[in-house]
Amino acid sequence: MSLRVGMGYDVHRVKAGRPLVLGGVKFASDWGLEGHSDADVLAHAVGDALLGAAGLGDIGEHFPDTEEAWRDADSMQLLKAIVAMVIAGGQEIVNVDCTVVMEEPKLGTHRMAIREQLAQALGLSPRRVNVKASSGEGMGFVGRREGVAALAVASLRDAD
Ligand SMILES: [Zn+2]
């Protein structure tokens, strides 16, 4: 069996009045993330991990932030388009693991919803999608609440 692994990393700046969307789940928050799309930092990191594992470049190449078509785009739709590219390339997703690095709010009760949303977009059982939460411990851009980061790893195998 041929196994491929890819990693993804993304960061977006915190901005008042923007929506906070993580893995397709909207948080009740008076601040969100700045970006051309809906700035779903977690969906972007997962997308990059998949593209990386498949050897298909990165999310910015496929969905440039200079293109009007992707303004305020639903990143979960972009993620589904990436999954379709991976499958078209003869691969299937084995699992995805990811970490949101955010000072507040805590993922808490949203964690399972995020896991389910991502699993649905990826066409996987939620057991194959893990979502972890970390913080900046008061240090750096995350700790100063200037931004939110996300990391992801995805593994693929040849489809039968
Ligand atoms: Zn992004």
Which residues surround the ion ligand 1 when the cut-off is CB under 5 Å?
10, 44
34-72 pLDDT per residue, tens: 998 899 999 999 999 999 999 999 999 998 888 887 788
User: With the C-alpha atoms ordered 6, 59, 128, 38, is the resulting torsion angle positive or negative?
Assistant: positive
pTM here is: 0.96
Q: What is the pLDDT of residue 65?
A: 81
- Ligand 1 centroid to Cα of residue 6, in Å, is 17
- Ligand 1 centroid to Cα of residue 132, in Å, is 18
- Ligand 1 centroid to Cα of residue 4, in Å, is 23
- Ligand 1 centroid to Cα of residue 42, in Å, is 8
CA pair distance 35, 10, nearest whole angstrom = 11
The SS3 call for residue 3 is strand
By C-alpha distance, which of 105, 138, 115, 118 is closest to 76? 118
66-125 pLDDT per residue, tens: 888 778 889 999 999 999 999 999 999 999 999 999 999 999 889 999 999 999 999 999
Q: What is the pLDDT of residue 23?
A: 98
Q: What is the pLDDT of residue 93?
A: 98
Compute the chain's Rg from CA coordinates: 15
Residue type, 2: S
Q: What is the pLDDT of residue 1?
A: 67
Q: What is the pLDDT of residue 66?
A: 81
Does the pLDDT value for residue 157 go beyond 80? Answer: yes
Q: What is the pLDDT of residue 64?
A: 85
- Ligand 1 centroid to Cα of residue 160, in Å, is 32
For the segment 9-35, the average pLDDT, to the nearest whole number, is 95
Greater confidence, 72 or 152? Answer: 152
Q: What is the pLDDT of residue 160?
A: 80
- Ligand 1 centroid to Cα of residue 87, in Å, is 22
- Ligand 1 centroid to Cα of residue 53, in Å, is 18
- Ligand 1 centroid to Cα of residue 39, in Å, is 5
Burial classification of residue 94, based on how many CB atoms lie within 10 Å of its CB (0-12 exposed, 13-18 middle, 19 or more buried): middle
Q: What is the pLDDT of residue 72?
A: 80
Phi, psi of 69, rounded to the nearest 5 degrees: -60, -30
Q: Which two tokens stand for residue 118?
A: 């991502």
Close Cβ partners of 154 (under 8 Å, ≥ 6 residues apart) = 5, 6, 7, 8, 46, 49, 50, 52, 53, 93, 95, 96
